[in-house]
Amino acid sequence: MKLRLKFFARIREQLGCDGEVLEAPAGVATVAALRNFLVARGENWQQALSGNRVLRVAVNQDMAEPDTPLCDGDEVAFFPPVTGG
């Protein structure tokens, strides 16, 4: 499944990129599973996205919960609770 990821504010700064296109492995079917997959990429990813960080996630520009399912072609945006313009 191909996902378009977007990163905003401090998350973008910590990761050094504003997004990517990801070919997600078969086990990544929800927002929580995607977040866990990304955290496993390494230290920068852990610091930016780990479970103890309060984050907001949107799927196709709609606010999402950890159990929100993902589909091929979805846009998934990660951002802190408060972002500026």
Residue 78 contacts residue 49 (beta carbons within 8 Å): yes
Calpha distance 36→67 (Å, rounded): 12
The angle at the Cα of 1, spanning 3 to 7, to the nearest 5 degrees, equals 15
Quick check: 44 pLDDT over 60? yes
> What DSSP letter does each residue of 43-61 carry, written as one string?
HHHHHHH-TTS--EEEETT
Whether domain 2-79 has CATH 3.10.20.30: the reply is yes
Judged against a pLDDT cut of 70, whether residue 83 lies above it is answered with no
In angstroms, rounded to a whole number, what is the distance separating the alpha carbons of residues 26 and 63? 23
> 50-66 pLDDT, tens per residue?
877 789 999 999 999 99
Which pLDDT belongs to residue 53? 74
DSSP of 2-34, one letter per residue? EEEEEE-HHHHHHHT-SEEEEE--TT--BHHHH
